[in-house]
Structure 1
Amino acid sequence: MSALRWPEGFPPSPSSLAFAPQTAGPTPGALEGVWRGDELGRADAPTVATGFAALDAALPGQGWPTHALTEILLPQAALCEWRLTAPGLAALAAAGGQILLVAPPKRPHAAGLAQWGIGADHLVWIDAATPAERLWTTEQLVKSNPPGAILAWLPQARPEQVRRLQVHAQSCSAPVFLFRPVTMQREASAAPLRLSVALGRDWHLQVRILKRRGPPHEGVLLLRSIAEPMAAVLPPRLSRPEQAIVVPSPSPSQEATDARVLGRSATASLHRHPAGH
């Protein structure tokens, strides 16, 4: 894993990776080229499979979008970013792409990421200290249209700054992920795809799709987030498949309480399972 310090060492602008478009099949009886608001949207650009069948089925184009931002909201930074994104990022790394990290809150756990198929030689860590440096660095990377993916931790980005990144992302063939606090859920965002993710029981992730092109997604996705080498040695009870469940929408006060509880439980979980596993 190479580490760069802002503003030196930005990668060049090589040609972008080519991915075969993954588009949802047409709805029977629908007019060709016409999208209905009550239907799951079709991707206007190629997508990258997330590695989770249940999540792919709920996303326009059945994967992480390219030429657009994906905003992921977390109860605590360095908690479950890698567990959610690593399966999809592994395919990009296998195709020769670099995983560009802007100001990750903790050093990536190389041994854990290797379990997902992401080698340290595919990681580039850019150390941007201040909010302004992080935003500028992310913007320059997006404009460079690199092969691979861009992951940026921007907890203090304002709505107009996210909107500017989205404008630049429309010309970027790499998926761009922004990680922000779950407290930003009620703040407007130009990102076409927004999710919140938290740790569940038995190595599962609880994912809510807050915004997508199409009808609202009601419920929670439970995603089994275990790397294959580890799955072989875990007890059978941890092999529960992915599923989608419908739960009542929490009240604002309950959301705040849940965020505090998740923060405390996440700290304990990180002591048991280092980041990247």
Structure 2
Amino acid sequence: MSTLALWQEGPEPSPGPSAVVPPEELTRALPVHVAEAVWRGTELGKVEARVVSSGFPALDAELPGGGWPTRSLTELLLPQSAICEWRLLGPAVPSLLAEEGSTVYLVSPPKQPNAPGLAQLGVAPDRLVWIEVKGPADRLWVAEQLIKSDPCGAVLVWLPQARPEQLRRLQVHSQSCDAPVFIVRPETALRDTSAAPLRVSVTLGAGWNIDVRIRKRRGATFDGVLQLPAMPSNLDIVIPPRLRTLPAPRPARQEVPHVLGSPATNPAAAFRVAH
């Protein structure tokens, strides 16, 4: 009986050393217009639409395009609403309202906007529109209509219960909107997928700072924490230096273990045990 050879016998070829070609070498042979369009995974994504400076140079350096994007959705994730929104967005107000007729639209904020406080940030009462809507479905409908109208200024929508398909729909509408669109959601929404190209979480930091983490962006990931000074300008001239930073936390008291294994909480008892 003849045997059918399915595999060629013989020593296996030894793999040669793999050559690592620098990206510059790979793109050098390409036409100039093609090489300029090549995006590398270690770089920030390119943004074709207009951007608005956040007012924080350190944050602008980490945002694709160097600022808050237009024609796109930006998701702000907070541990608690009405705490950090304006401390993050306040420095961008002059840029958001630079064009004549610009307006800041607020859809269903958790608390009533403080007109005098917003006026100190640069949002005059006639440049502010507050839309109060009840129910998640109605909020979504109002947000869609507002974004599709292509307003001038900025749009802030509080959607704590938005589903992934609803955010995808808003992202599609935002691609035709020349104003930055911010969707404010709880930080627990990080467990859900989101069509927003930019997701930023904000928490209170030490003193008057805020801690900003870029959870998602076009391009390379960013795992650091940006500690941004967020003291309102009207307080900067009246707050004394001793109140600009929080006091250092008190060191934890070293407890002396009891002979029976339970911790001694009374200092006198601790002394007797130690003695």
TM-score bracket for this pair, using the shorter chain length = 0.7 to 0.9
- Aligned identity (percent) is 57
In structure 1, C-alpha distance between the alignment counterparts of 2:183 and 2:157, rounded to whole Å:
5
Whether 1:104 aligns to 2:106 is no
The 8 Å contact of residues 203 and 238 in structure 1, kept in 2 or not, is answered as: no
Q: Where does structure 1 differ by over 4 angstroms across 4 or more consecutive aligned residues?
A: 27-30, 237-240
Question: How big is the shift at 1:203?
Answer: 1.0
The equivalent residue for 1:44 is 48
Question: How big is the shift at 1:236?
Answer: 3.4
TM-score scaled by length of structure 1 = 0.73
The 8 Å contact of residues 75 and 181 in structure 1, kept in 2 or not, is answered as: yes
The equivalent residue for 1:191 is 196
In structure 2, C-alpha distance between the alignment counterparts of 1:123 and 1:134, rounded to whole Å:
18
Question: How big is the shift at 1:200?
Answer: 1.1
More off after superposition, 40-49 vs 83-92 = 83-92
Question: How big is the shift at 1:28?
Answer: 8.7
Which of residues 200, 205, 208 is equivalent to 1:200?
A: 205
TM-score scaled by length of structure 2 = 0.74
Code of the aligned partner of 1:232: I
Whether 1:180 aligns to 2:190 is no
Three-state SS of the structure 1 residue aligned to 2:92 is: helix
In structure 2, C-alpha distance between the alignment counterparts of 1:238 and 1:115, rounded to whole Å:
21
Question: How big is the shift at 1:238?
Answer: 6.7
The 8 Å contact of residues 208 and 244 in structure 2, kept in 1 or not, is answered as: no
Which of residues 120, 135, 140 is equivalent to 2:145?
A: 140
From the superposition, tell whether residues 215 and 237 of structure 1 become closer, same or farther in structure 2 (CA, over 3 Å): farther
Whether 1:216 aligns to 2:221 is yes
In structure 1, C-alpha distance between the alignment counterparts of 2:80 and 2:244, rounded to whole Å:
26
Q: Deviations over 1:219-264 (max 9, x none)?
A: 1111111222321222336778xxxxxxxxxxxxxxxxxxxxxxxx
Question: How big is the shift at 1:89?
Answer: 2.5
Code of the aligned partner of 1:66: T
In structure 2, C-alpha distance between the alignment counterparts of 1:217 and 1:239, rounded to whole Å:
28
RMSD: 1.9
Using CA pairs below 8 Å that are at least 6 residues apart, which structure has the higher relative contact order?
A: 1
The equivalent residue for 1:244 is none
The equivalent residue for 2:267 is none
Gap runs ≥5 in structure 1: 1-26, 241-277
In structure 1, C-alpha distance between the alignment counterparts of 2:156 and 2:24, rounded to whole Å:
37
Whether 1:66 aligns to 2:75 is no
Three-state SS of the structure 1 residue aligned to 2:55 is: coil
Whether 1:56 aligns to 2:57 is no
